Amino acid sequence: MAATNGPSHIIIEAVRPQLDCGRYRAKAVAGDAVAVEADIYRDGTPELRAVVRYRGPGGTRWSEEPLVHVGNDHWAGTFRPERVGRYQYSIQAWTDYFATWRRDLHKKASAGLDVDLELEEGARLIEARMDSIPASRQKRLKDAIAKLRAPSSRPGPADKPDARVTAALDPKLDELLAKYPDRQGAASSDVFGLTVDRERARFGAWYEFFPRSTGTKTKHGTFKTAAKELRRIADMGFDVVYLPPIHPIGRAFRKGRNNTLDATPDDIGSPWAIGGPEGGHTAIHPDLGTIDDFDDFVSEAERAGLEVCLDFAIQCSPDHPWVTEHPDWFVQRPDGSIQYAENPPKKYQDIYPVNFDTEDQEGLWTELRGVLEFWISHGVKIFRVDNPHTKSFAFWEWVIDELTAKDPDLIFLSEAFTRPKVMYALAKLGFTQSYTYFTWRNTRWDLTEYLTELTQTPVAEFFRPNFFANTPDILHEYLQMGGPPAFKIRFVLASLLSPSYGIYSGYELCENVPVKEGSEEYLNSEKFELRPRDWKKGPNLVGYITRINDIRKKHPALRGFTNLTFHQADKDSVLVFSKSAPEGDGTILAIVNLNPFHWEEATVHLDLDALGVEPGEPFEVHDLITETRYVWNGPSSYVRLDPQEEPAHIFRVQT
């Protein structure tokens, strides 16, 4: 139950959005309408009024938007934060005594009862409000008072309304008094927080690649050679380039090709084994270039319309300077050795995890914040955080809060493939986006259940997904076995179901060979060796990816997430879903054959209301991939999709 300001008969409860009774801030994007709702009621039967009050970053005055009663004591409305930053909002409700009086007067007058005393009560209610009304608006009120106190016209013709009652029920009089409400005895809810981000926090196409693979099979790539790839990536329609760690790599216990324990002198090691004699988390791998070369890379990305995302992995190689400078930041084993990272049965002998239970917590936290501040000073606004669920929750809440308070444009992507509640906790603590289970959701039932959870429950108020179709660590069996059709299918699903999605370099070439049967690791993994590619060889999905990204950017419906509706099909291998644009800019309907091996035909049963189609009216569906058009009539239609030709329809619904 909400707190009240002074004596009040009113109760405000079940305010949404709110996270854990206001412990955390919900999320929104600048310019969006934020839906607010609450249960509001009081003892007795008087009429109520309610508003949502809100103020933006640095604001001292509250703005307001009305809430409307939608039934069963439930109220709803919206407000639109226009700036990026931290907002506050609260619900306020009060008794509208004048509206209550008008309601009861109407009932009594309609029943033919004597209302002389009621009219005098109304005149006094208006008089009591006079001082709160601008002088320029008081004439209407004085005229109304005079009419309410005029001599009764009764008895008179039975079909002639009482002029006094007509004046009392004038809608313009009610509108004027509602504009200057009497809020004596008002109740206010608790004040809740809202983080308002820029649009990239919700919508964007991400491309992951290793700068070191932009040279040759034997020659290490540099930031200068990597910069030559930026135009190719931008031309495919991507918005963010994500780079794995770019720091020096340790020599001790270095992993060889395909994650072998015996590295040769020529093996270059995993970028996640951070740190060497050249430096640690604020140093550049010398083979990539200098910090000036990195700055030039960021500038070139900006010219191409791309943002640079850096990997932030809180771990060290045995050669990292911190190991000798701050040995207390690591877990010491009984034999005096330092505990290396493990995820049984996987072992990472080349990586030391940081011990967040160190007695020098202040020194560790300050150092890690300084690492992020260093890269922010070099133009980085986006960080992909490696395994944040294995680090201190308190640290993440502190550091993200500290940094975004200074720069609300920052974006933090959580790479936490772990239990749902832990993933959701990280989002509440401040992470802007999160990796998801999308890679392992391949059936219609799996996709429908998972997306319903993410879009139609309170999770949607704080958890923003980023659907990566693959990563350097994850090559799902579906892609291994399904060939190019599988790559098309998963790309369509990732890019249309979620406004943010990503692929790892090589996806466009349908790279699908695992290191061994039953593994999700790539053969000849780029994590351990250079992998230069011929971008013109086949099979090649560059044109397909470019087309889908173009569709995403041209159709506002695909910028949303909670605007998702699933439709029915009589085949389990056919998934049907739509997204509608909030401003009436068209609805996108996708029909996808989930079977990469064989054509499927099905009858789809559409929710016409979700598509904005009137029952009984024909409507056109325009396939944005093939440019074909069909006229459909009614909720049921036949489709046939051959994955060897085109596994999906992406229709724009036109009425």
Catalytic positions, please? 386, 415
Q: How many helices (H) and strands (E) does the chain have?
A: 16, 30
Q: State the Cα torsion 505-506-512-517 to the nearest 10°.
A: -50
Q: What are residue 197's DSSP bridge partners?
A: 29
Reference 459, options 507, 492, 426; nearest CA is: 426
Q: What are residue 602's DSSP bridge partners?
A: 639
Residue 487 in tokens: 């790559």
Token pair 């608790």: residue: 190
List the end-to-end C-alpha distance of the chain, in Å, as a whole number.
46
The DSSP line for 253-308 is T---GGG-S---TT----TTSB-BTTBSTT---TTT--HHHHHHHHHHHHHTT-EE
Q: What is the widest separation between alpha-carbon atoms in the chain?
A: 111
Q: What are residue 45's DSSP bridge partners?
A: none
Burial class (CB in 10 A: 0-12, 13-18, 19+), 607: middle
243: helix, strand or coil: strand
Mention every residue, 6+ apart, whose C-beta is less than 8 A from residue 324.
none
Letter for the amino acid at 375?
Answer: W
Between CA 449 and CA 460, with CA 455 as vertex, the angle to 5 degrees is: 130
Question: How far, in Å, CA of 189 to CA of 53, rounded?
Answer: 10
E strands within 379-493? 382-386, 411-415, 433-434, 467-468
CB count within 10 Å of CB 288 equals 23
Q: What are residue 142's DSSP bridge partners?
A: none
In angstroms, what CA-CA distances link 267 with 423, 529, 624? 35, 7, 46
